Amino acid sequence: MVDRNSETLFSLIPSVDKILSHPRIHCVLNEYSSTIVKNIVASILNDMRGSIKKNLLTPVDLNLDAVVDRIVKAVAHRLGSSLRTVINATGVVVHTNLGRSPLSRKVVDRIVEVAMSYSNLEYDLEQGKRGQRNAHLRALIEELTGAESVLAVNNNAAAVLLAIGTLAKGKEVIVSRGELIEIGGSFRIPEIMAQSGAILKEVGTTNRTHPGDYIQAINENTALILKVHTSNYRIIGFTREMSFDELVLIGRQYNLPTMMDLGSGCLVDLSPAGLPDEVTVQEVLAKGIDVVSFSGDKLLGGPQAGILVGKKELIDRMASNPLARALRMDKLTLAGLEATLQEYASMSGPRLSIPTLAMISKTPEELMIVAERISLDLNSLLEGKVKISVEKGAGRVGGGALPMSDLVGPRVSIKPTGFSAARLENSLRQGIPPVITMVKDDCVLIDPRTLLDNQTEMIVGLVVNAFDRVMNSNERG
Ligand SMILES: *Cc1c(COP(=O)(O)O)cnc(C)c1O
């Protein structure tokens, strides 16, 4: 039964005509399809009727402006951009949840150029006939890594799947127990192996693997020896892992191909940036490993991609696997990847021109200047409401790379006096653009390392706004 009270409320719901002739809805209709907007209006009115029945609404909620406000917000929520740019103040350079590597203007311009035109994507201009999309990367990769051939696919998970599926379907792949890793977002070596149709042959123990373990595991059904970069964790203490030399020796002795899933795919020595442990793609190939796979958007600093490099005979087999067609990279990625690799061959090198490498290369001294300016500005704008200090903290490269190597640099630490750091962190996320921060010991931390060009100026205003939002919601109760 609908009671008297609800009946009165029902009669207060503004008519569709009234709503559609409201000036704010006019603006909305100038931007969006009228059919879709009308559907949203109908669904909101329907929701309101439901809420009235449950006694959840009062007359104030039903006045025209309030209803229109709800509709405008719903339209923005449902039809506006869901994928938005954010400011990464976490200091984690290769942050998978935040889109990994940002691209430079130069690389993006190449993508736009190719996107807006026809191209010789699969067309051989000399012969005037069909060409190969992967041929575009071949010469550059050969110069940069010494690889005989290259095949680029959608991402590194796809590259590993394709390589194993091609080289070892129905056969055994030997992997050390210490390398059976899971990378965030459900990439697990044993599962990829199962998907590829290969049989995982685990050897050694979690912390120690010897050449004898591999040799014992080899039988007539063995097809591949795989080594995996442990990317996001490290085993320390009493450990032994196989060296490249040992793997290559066994591979040659038993006539088995060797492969390394390198994860990050670093092409430059990062020890000047304080990261001495990362082996480069060209080093692994020079050791004699037959196939190396790596991501395009981790330490390489390019678009999302999976890159397979190595022996021509093996790469050719992968390229002619029907799976390669299903996993192929699109032309925009190819344009971005080629432009990224060109930076590595440029006179000035990639260290400044590739944003990911530029961020990793920032020195604590450079960062200290930025941190102190942010701290000073915040101190003067939020005087008495917060405790701000600059602490020497440690950022991380993140994204499945260099988990134990900290990028040392300062961080601005903000401790609100009237409320928790968690509330400030939340409010920062609601900003335009949203700011993503870390909270530690009830302080919001801002790491200047991952702030892009003009964001160091913006961030002060955004923190003040976020602060005001919390204060206002406190006052409203
Ligand atoms: C990151 C990573 C992958 C997955 O690469 P994506 O490009 O994210 O698909 C696979 N293997 C290792 C060792 C990795 O670090």
Q: Is residue 211 part of a domain?
A: yes
Is the same domain home to 22 and 60? yes
Cα gap 263→228, rounded to integer Å: 8
Domain end marker among 353, 388, 417:
353
Is the same domain home to 281 and 396? no
Nearest to 334 by CA among 143, 129, 154: 154
pLDDT for the residue numbered 456: 92
Domain membership of residue 408 as a residue range: 87-93+359-476
pLDDT for the residue numbered 471: 93
pLDDT for the residue numbered 395: 56
pLDDT for the residue numbered 321: 97
Pocket test of ligand 1: the residue of 94, 155, 156 to mutate, having most ligand atoms within 8 Å of its CB, is: 156
Task: Tell whether the model's pLDDT for residue 403 goes beyond 60.
Answer: no
pLDDT for the residue numbered 184: 66
Task: Tell whether the model's pLDDT for residue 232 goes beyond 80.
Answer: no
| Residue 77 in tokens | 């929520």
Is the same domain home to 332 and 401? no
Cα gap 417→420, rounded to integer Å: 8
Q: Is residue 134 part of a domain?
A: yes
Q: Is residue 222 part of a domain?
A: yes
* Three-state SS annotation for 279-324: CCHHHHHHCCCCEEEEECCCCCCCCCCEEEEECHHHHHHHHCCHHH
| Residue 205 in tokens | 């123990």
Phi then psi for residue 155, to 5 deg, are -160, 175
Is the same domain home to 46 and 117? no
Closest residue to atom 12 of ligand 1, CA basis: 263
Is the same domain home to 332 and 215? yes
Least confident of 108-122, 287-301, 463-477: 463-477
Q: Is residue 98 part of a domain?
A: no
Is the same domain home to 108 and 179? yes
- The mean pLDDT of 219-241, rounded to a whole number, is 87
pLDDT for the residue numbered 273: 81
Atom in ligand 1 nearest the alpha carbon of residue 187 = 4
pLDDT for the residue numbered 46: 97
Ligand 1 centroid – CA 213 distance (Å): 26
CATH number at residue 133: 3.40.640.10
Is the same domain home to 157 and 292? yes
Task: Tell whether the model's pLDDT for residue 398 goes beyond 90.
Answer: no
Ligand 1 binding site (Cβ under 6 Å of any ligand atom): 155-157, 160, 183, 187, 228-229, 231, 261, 263, 295, 306, 400
3-state secondary structure of 101: coil
pLDDT for the residue numbered 244: 95
Q: Is residue 99 part of a domain?
A: no
pLDDT for the residue numbered 200: 95
User: For the chain, how many residues are written?
Assistant: 477
Is the same domain home to 233 and 293? yes
Is the same domain home to 245 and 322? yes
Pocket test of ligand 1: the residue of 295, 297, 333 to mutate, having most ligand atoms within 8 Å of its CB, is: 295
| Percentage of the chain lying above the pLDDT 90 cut | 82
pLDDT for the residue numbered 453: 84
pLDDT in tens, 17-38: 999 999 999 999 999 999 999 9
pLDDT for the residue numbered 206: 82
pLDDT in tens, 154-188: 999 999 999 999 999 999 999 999 998 777 667 88
CATH number at residue 469: 3.90.1150.180
Is the same domain home to 9 and 71? yes
The CB-side HSE value for 325 (13 A sphere, CA atoms) comes to: 3
Q: Is residue 116 part of a domain?
A: yes
Q: Is residue 113 part of a domain?
A: yes
Is the same domain home to 25 and 134? no
Atom in ligand 1 nearest the alpha carbon of residue 230 = 13
Is the same domain home to 252 and 366? no
Ligand 1 centroid – CA 156 distance (Å): 5
pLDDT in tens, 410-457: 999 999 999 999 999 999 999 999 999 999 999 999 999 999 988 999
Q: Is residue 159 part of a domain?
A: yes
Type of residue found at 202? E
Say how many domains are in the chain. Answer: 3
pLDDT for the residue numbered 239: 84
Enumerate the H helices of 63-179 as residue ranges. Answer: 64-79, 105-115, 135-145, 156-168
Task: Tell whether the model's pLDDT for residue 354 goes beyond 80.
Answer: yes
Rounded to two decimals, the pTM is: 0.92
Cβ 192 vs Cβ 200: under 8 Å: no
Domain end marker among 331, 353, 375:
353
pLDDT in tens, 372-396: 999 999 999 999 899 999 997 655 5
pLDDT for the residue numbered 405: 55
Task: Tell whether the model's pLDDT for residue 235 goes beyond 80.
Answer: no
Task: Tell whether the model's pLDDT for residue 113 goes beyond 60.
Answer: yes
pLDDT in tens, 187-222: 888 899 999 999 999 999 888 889 999 999 999 999
